[in-house]
Amino acid sequence: MSKSQKKRTFTLQKKSIYPFFEGNVMAKQKFYVVWQGKKPGIYTSWKTCEAQVSGFENALYKAFDSMEEAEKAFRDNPWKYFKTHKKASQNASLSSPNIIKESIAVDAACSGNPGKMEYRGVDVATGEEIFHLGPLEGGTNNIGEFLGIVHALALLKQQNSKIPVYSDSANAIKWVKNKKCNTKLKPTLKNMYIFELISRAEKWLTENDYPNPVIKWETDKWGEIPADFGRK
């Protein structure tokens, strides 16, 4: 792995977002609590935190926005800081050697089909949200997955990063490969903006090459994708 691949890539300013996408991805200082790891404690960078949890079976850790929050959490019961025990076990599953931690995971959610659609991208290593768009009226889950992958690819191209993108949607991965959102959804006044995004995403795929692998997330083996909205 090259030095550029090892370097953290998500210190992004809002002005650098690819024009047809929205969302605030401005980086913030994070404080990492390690409850279960090689050396439990509070760490001020992902690099030092990763050294404590990488390869450690059932590692338990979480990022916080302030030192005060981190100190309180470190003294407290860690399970209080996860929505469910299932979520905590998913964090632990990242110790699998088959998961590339230096990566972005994307996922979409849709209330109805069609319905209010949204998608987001998450830093697999830390679980921190990088971008989030929606909810938008009149979309589908597959469209959200497709747009999420292209959003991640565009963002990484701007940062000259070659790290992979994970998606749990085989359809969306195929659409990206074919540079075409092969949806059966029809345009309406309600979903006009979504189809504008689709058009811009397809144009970006046609006009740009990218080195980033788009990899299928193995839900059966690894649990829910880190970008999952947790609404199942």
Residue pLDDT, tens place only, 172-183: 999 999 999 999
Asked if 13 and 26 touch (Cβ cutoff 8 Å), the reply is yes
CA 195 to chain centre: 23
pLDDT at 95: 64
Which run of H or of E encompasses 127? none
Helix (H, G, I), strand (E, B) or coil at 182: coil
Outline where the chain has alpha helix (H).
3-6, 46-53, 67-75, 85-93, 141-158, 170-178, 192-207, 219-222
Give 75 or 24, the one with higher predicted confidence: 75
pTM, entire model? 0.65
CB-based contact 189:169 (threshold 8 Å): no
Q: How far apart are CA 75 and CA 93, in angstroms?
A: 24
221 in helix, strand or coil? Answer: helix
Q: What is the pLDDT of residues 189-231, one digit of tens each?
A: 888 989 999 999 999 999 999 999 999 999 888 888 999 887 5
Residue 132 is encoded by which pair of tokens? Answer: 């989030």
